[in-house]
Amino acid sequence: MENVKVFSIIIAVFSVLSVESVGLKDLKTCNFGAVYNFGDSNSDTGGGSAAFWPAGKPCGETFFGRPVGRGCDGRLIIDFIPEHLGLPHLSPYLDSIGTSFRYGANFAIGGSTIRPQNESMSLNGVSPFSLDIQIVQFDQFKDRTGHFYNRSYPRHHRNLPRPEDFSKALYIFDIGQNDIAAGLRKKNDSAFHASVPDIVDQLAKAVQNLYEHGARTFWVHNTGPIGCLPVSLHYHDIKPEELDEQGCLKAQNAYSMEFNRQLKARVIKLREELPHAALTYVDIYAAKYELIGNAKKQGFVEAANICCGFHEDEIQIYCGHKQNINGTEIYAGSCENPSDFISWDGVHYTEAANRWVAHRIINGSFSDPPLPIKHACHIP
């Protein structure tokens, strides 16, 4: 715990000094006309529900009062970002009902990977909408909305992005966790490590594609500590020596850290390759690990506790599902106070935890360069 406190202080001091060094006071606030997001279930606001099957109760109960396609009791990090920028929540690209793309779109789909996997949604939850497909969807979206905007009646413009906003938009990447999960499933360390350069290169190609089509501001999240997810801790027989000081699986977190190390190096290289791009690398891993290490201090219960689901006596029932156990039907509902928990369903975070992380990354405390998101369009 003391190590986490010291680490937090160092991060805070470093951020203040670094922000001052880049002359934050002299920077103008960026005028982001739209936000476009690419990702997996950590930032899926309904794409997966539109493509496959809808997220059911009790998801959405805390903020929306009903399921709205998020694997959470309320808002995700990707919801808090546009709120902070004064923009509405992002509509999923695949959602055909009640959508508005005036201020951006969300291409994230639960189960998505950066690199296409030879797996399936029905087999192990891997989405066919890998990052390359999401980029193809964006390219088509940009072309078609431009066509209709320039040829439609003005009253139709309210739901379409203005063509000039694409170059001034914020482009967010929040993807990679499922690539790591795929590596863990295969239980081949050497194969996973050999695959990481190609995985980060494919993300870099996505950034390059958007840059070639006019995008200039990129906000790239690394992946969180997968070994701290309660689903990993509840579903495995674990020896004490396998855990770190926060009770997380060291071997699994090592996968995340290696991916993040190479991702950061690739983002730095992209800054050289794309001289007119503002690229921010956001250390989601550090933010979430700090929260997990200070769970009780921050007002949460133990980080390994799960709000929604049934996990007792080696019986594991996923959030919102029912199962007959010895003649008794058990419904895996939510806890009484989701805001007390970090984990919503063992994999995804609660709205309270998402808010905690979002507020810390938005101010630049976990970013390289350490600029607040409202100044992310500037190249230091």
Q: What is the pLDDT of residue 123?
A: 75
Q: Which domain holds residue 53?
A: 25-300+349-375
Average pLDDT of the chain, as a whole number: 91
Q: Is residue 380 part of a domain?
A: no
CA distance 144 to 139: 9
pLDDT tier at 10 (50, 70, 90 boundaries)? very low
Please indicate, yes or no, if residue 9 is contained in any of the structural domains: no
Residue 17 domain-assigned (yes or no): no
* Angle at alpha carbon of residue 281, lines to 135 and 161, rounded to 5°: 40
DSSP state of 306: B
pLDDT one-digit tens code per residue, 185-203: 988 899 999 999 999 999 9
Min mean pLDDT across 14-23, 43-52, 232-241 is at 14-23
Whether residue 342 lies inside any domain: the answer is no
* 3-class DSSP state of 132: helix
pLDDT at 11: 43
Q: How far apart are the C-alpha atoms of 205 and 277, rounded to whole Å?
A: 14
Q: Is the pLDDT of residue 299 over 60?
A: yes
> What's 319's DSSP letter?
T
- Over range 156-178, report the average pLDDT: 94
Q: Is residue 30 part of a domain?
A: yes
pLDDT of residue 317: 92
The catalytic residue among 345, 365, 367, 378 is 345
- CATH code for position 40: 3.40.50
Whether residue 308 lies inside any domain: the answer is: no
pLDDT at 24: 63
Q: What is the DSSP letter of 232?
A: H
Which of 348, 365, 367, 378 is catalytic? The answer is 348
- The token pair at 47 is 């794409």
* CA-CA-CA-CA dihedral for 371, 288, 89, 126, to nearest 10: 120
DSSP helix/strand/coil, 376: coil
pLDDT, one tens digit per residue, over 171-187 is: 999 999 999 999 999 88
Average pLDDT of the segment spanning 3-25? 46
Based on the residue annotation, tell me whether 345 is a catalytic residue of this protein: yes
For the question of residue 139 being annotated catalytic, the response is no
Annotation marks residue 112 as catalytic? no
Catalytic-labelled residue, pool 41, 112, 232, 367: 41
DSSP for 54-109, please give it: ---TTTTTTTTSS--S-SSSS--HHHHHHHHTT-PPPPBTT--SS---TTEEE---
d(CA 184, CA 229): 13
**Residue 326 domain flag:** no
Q: What is the pLDDT of residue 23?
A: 59
CA distance 376 to 380: 10
For the chain, what is the domain count? 1
pLDDT-above-70 percentage for the chain: 92
Residue 314 lies in a domain: no
Q: What is the pLDDT of residue 150?
A: 84
Amino acid identity for residue 292 in this structure:
I
How far apart (Å, rounded) are the C-alpha atoms in residues 305 and 230? 7
How many Å is the Cα radius of gyration of the chain?
20
